[in-house]
Amino acid sequence: MMNSYNVYQRLLIAYGVQGWWPLLQRNSRPGYTQEGYHPGVYSLELTPNERFEIITGAILTQNTNWANVRRSLTTLLENCHLGPEFFCAAEHIDLAALIRSSGYYNQKAKKLKTTAGFFLARGAANETPPSRKELLAIWGIGPETADSILLYAFNQPVCVVDAYSMRIFNRLENRGSSEGGEWTYMGLQAKFKAELPVDVEVYNEFHALLVEHGKRYCTSKNQKCFKCPLKSECRFLAQNS
DNA sequence: GCCCAGGAGCATA
DNA sequence: TATGCTCATGGG
């Protein structure tokens, strides 16, 4: 069984640096791609507006394709509406219309207003990261969104786990009921923390690489295992081919 | 037409 | 604690 760091190294060689979290406010600037990614650039001094863009994106991308989220973020930026003041002041129906392309727009409008209220109330305290417990107490922020905000918006050394991570590691070990059950969020997060160097850049890339791997090869159905860069170590492939 | 996407909250048991 | 349901657009 490969440990997390071996998986990280293998995926980094296969896919290269991903440069999350994309910052649309900086797209097309030197070091940034048109999509706002910044591969290899990590010493970012985020402005409050950029931090809030990441927080907004983390909520909008819940169970949603990033391309749909990018449309919403672009619309918000073009209208100078991407900020906690606007989210709090806006009517629900207006905010929902602006984020329509992200799906779940009624739920997400409520989540954004609630979250904006939290960060607006903190004011200058937004220079320092909130606690995970504080984030989880906000309606609409669960484990993955909280950890994404801590890692990508506040550069805290927190590992992010998502549906792709669990699928990939369940398959690598082929964990099912006979293997002690599938990975849980907290269980896999503890494994990552134990096996990876404590490094914000590694955590940043690792989560992004797992998402890329899930999209390219480790898909829910019709896996493309024959070209998978992890296939030599994967017990799922060994037992399903 | 179907399935999926960088989840979370809530009801039910 | 553990499933199951709901939320919803847009691309393959």
- The tens digit of pLDDT for each residue in A13-63 reads 999 999 999 999 998 788 899 999 999 988 788 999 999 999 999 999 999
Express each pLDDT in A142-174 by its tens digit.
999 999 999 999 999 999 999 999 999 999 988
Provide the CA A220 to C1' C12 distance, Å, integer. Answer: 14
Q: What is the pLDDT of residue A127?
A: 87
Residues A195, A122: Cα–Cα separation, whole Å:
34
Element (H, E) at A211: helix A200-216
Provide the CA A134 to C1' C2 distance, Å, integer. Answer: 25
Q: Would you put residue A199 in left (φ > 0), alpha (ψ -120 to 50) or beta?
A: beta
What are residue A219's phi and psi, to 5 degrees? -80, 165
Residue closest to sugar C1' of C9 by CA: A103
Q: How confident is the model at residue A241 (pLDDT cuts 50, 70, 90)?
A: low
Residues A23, A207: Cα–Cα separation, whole Å:
17
Residues A186, A78: Cα–Cα separation, whole Å:
38
Q: What percent of chain A has pLDDT over 90?
A: 82
A116-132: burial string, b at 16+ Cβ within 10 Å, e else: bebbbeeeeebeebbeb
The answer, yes or no, to whether residue A124 has pLDDT greater than 90, is no
Residue closest to sugar C1' of B9 by CA: A140
Q: What is the pLDDT of residue A221?
A: 83
**Mean per-residue pLDDT for A83-93?**
98
Q: What is the pLDDT of residue A177?
A: 75
Q: What is the pLDDT of residue A205?
A: 98
Of A180 and A10, the structure prediction assigns the larger pLDDT to: A10
SS3 category, A45: coil
Tell me the average pLDDT of chain A: 94
Express each pLDDT in A179-237 by its tens digit.
778 899 999 999 999 999 999 999 999 999 999 999 999 998 877 899 999 999 998 87
DSSP A72-104: HHHHHHHTT--SHHHHHHS-HHHHHHHTGGGS-
Q: What is the pLDDT of residue A2?
A: 81
CA distances from residue A37 to A17, A24, A31, A83, A182 in whole angstroms, order as listed: 10, 8, 8, 21, 32
Of A41 and A133, the structure prediction assigns the larger pLDDT to: A133
pTM above 0.85, yes or no: yes
Which bases along strand B come within 7 Å of a protein CB atom? 3-10
Provide the CA A143 to C1' C9 distance, Å, integer. Answer: 24
A33 token code pair: 């791609």
Q: What is the pLDDT of residue A238?
A: 72
Residue count of chain A:
241
Provide the CA A168 to C1' C9 distance, Å, integer. Answer: 26
Residue closest to sugar C1' of B3 by CA: A221
The answer, yes or no, to whether residue A1 has pLDDT greater than 90, is no
Nucleotide nearest to A181 (CA to C1'): C2
Residues A149, A147: Cα–Cα separation, whole Å:
5
The answer, yes or no, to whether residue A239 has pLDDT greater than 90, is no
Residues A201, A41: Cα–Cα separation, whole Å:
9
Residues A66, A141: Cα–Cα separation, whole Å:
18
